[in-house]
Amino acid sequence: MEFESQCSLMTSTSMSERWTSRMPQGLDLEISQHPLTMKSVVNLIIAMERLKDTTKSESPMSSEFRDEDLLNIMLESAVEEEFVFEVTAAPPAERHSKFNKTGEHEYRITDTQKRNWVLVKDAMELHALMLQGGSSHRQVNLNMCTYVNTAPSTDARPVILGIRGTDLYLSCSEENGRPTLHLEEVQGKEWLRSISKGTDMVRFLFYKRDSGLDISTFMSAHFPGWYISTAQEDDRPVDMCQQTARRYRNFTIQRQN
């Protein structure tokens, strides 16, 4: 046991002398018997390497070199783990939102001048005109399908408007650089169940906003700010317009079933 203690002492003494001979004047190295973590060992080695580089290029540090100075050198050389997170731009939620059908009912519709909608098949247009007693059968009623938006962007109700007794549906698409109202024939009703926002099928959707008792406006979901409207003159096509246009945008709708 005594022999082992002497060897340990000699080893510690020789190591201390070896390190001391390389240390700048005024510095001393104390070998601690406390267990060190791997990170502490790495930081100590880096700090010592920096001290050696300093002694080659600079004059020896004075005896006023403090523990805080050594700590700063070690902290500057500390090995830090850096995490890099890959950030990808997620598409807006609305691109993945859907309009899901909630109901379907029949409505009668008139503009503020009490004019009905009439289907002109040859031109595939709807006209607004005042019907006399015996011609009331010419008026068209609407099948209005209501929807709920999974990511609502407005408080208005999304709807699709179809002509009762036909496969014709109102749509809004661009023509000659201007949003225009069209009648499109669509076979079957499977497509009515759900419509994804961002697809071309949005041209059939209109935002119905109620402003009074049975008074509503219908704004295109495909072209915000453009509304279904009727002209001031009688027997003119139902079309799209903006708020500044001199057309009628308010309609009275009365449920028939």
pLDDT at 87: 39
d(CA 12, CA 33): 11
Query: Between 146 and 88, where is the model more confident?
Result: 146
User: Is residue 204 in some structural domain?
Assistant: yes
Residue 86 lies in a domain: no
pLDDT over 70 (residue 60): no
Predicted TM-score (pTM) of the model is 0.62
Task: Give the chain's end-to-end CA distance (angstroms, integer).
Answer: 106
Mean local confidence (pLDDT), 208-217: 90
Q: Are residues 209 and 147 in the same domain?
A: yes
Residue 8 domain-assigned (yes or no): no
CB-based contacts of 19, cutoff 8 Å, min separation 6: 29
Alpha carbon of 211 to those of 20, 115, 153: distances in Å?
Answer: 91, 19, 18
Q: Are residues 63 and 168 in the same domain?
A: no
β-bridge pairing 251-255 and 157-163: unpaired
Give dist(CA 126, CA 136) in Å, integer.
Answer: 15
- Does 139 reside within a domain? yes
| 155's tokens | 């408080």
Instruction: Tell me: do 240 and 117 sit in the same domain.
Output: yes
pLDDT of residue 136: 82
- Same domain for 175 and 115? yes
CATH number of the domain encompassing residue 238: 2.80.10.50
* pLDDT value at 201 more than 60: yes
3-class secondary structure, 193: coil
Q: Radius of gyration (Cα) for the chain, nearest Å? A: 41
Instruction: Name the most confidently modeled range: 55-69, 71-85, 146-160, 227-241.
Output: 227-241
Range of the domain at 32: 15-76
Residue 50 lies in a domain: yes
Q: pLDDT at position 3, please?
A: 44
Q: Are residues 31 and 101 in the same domain?
A: no
Query: Which of 76, 109, 128 is the C-terminal boundary of a domain?
Result: 76
Q: Please tell me whether residues 68 and 104 are part of one structural domain.
A: no
* 8 Å CB contact between 170 and 143: no
Specify the number of domains making up the chain. 2
Amino acid present at 15: M
Which among 175, 141, 164, 166 is positioned nearest to 253, based on CA atoms?
141
Please check whether residue 4 lies inside any domain of the structure.
no
Write down the mean pLDDT value for the chain.
78
* Both tokens assigned to 60: 């020896």
Claim to verify: residue 29 and residue 102 sit in the same structural domain: no
Could you read off the pLDDT of 126-184 as tens digits, one per residue? Answer: 999 999 877 888 999 999 999 998 776 677 999 999 999 999 999 999 999 999 999 99
Decide if 245 is inside a domain. Answer: yes
The count of other CB atoms within 10 Å of the CB of residue 105 is 13
Give yes or no: residues 234 and 147 share one domain.
yes
131 part of a folded domain: yes
Q: Does one domain contain both 46 and 105? A: no
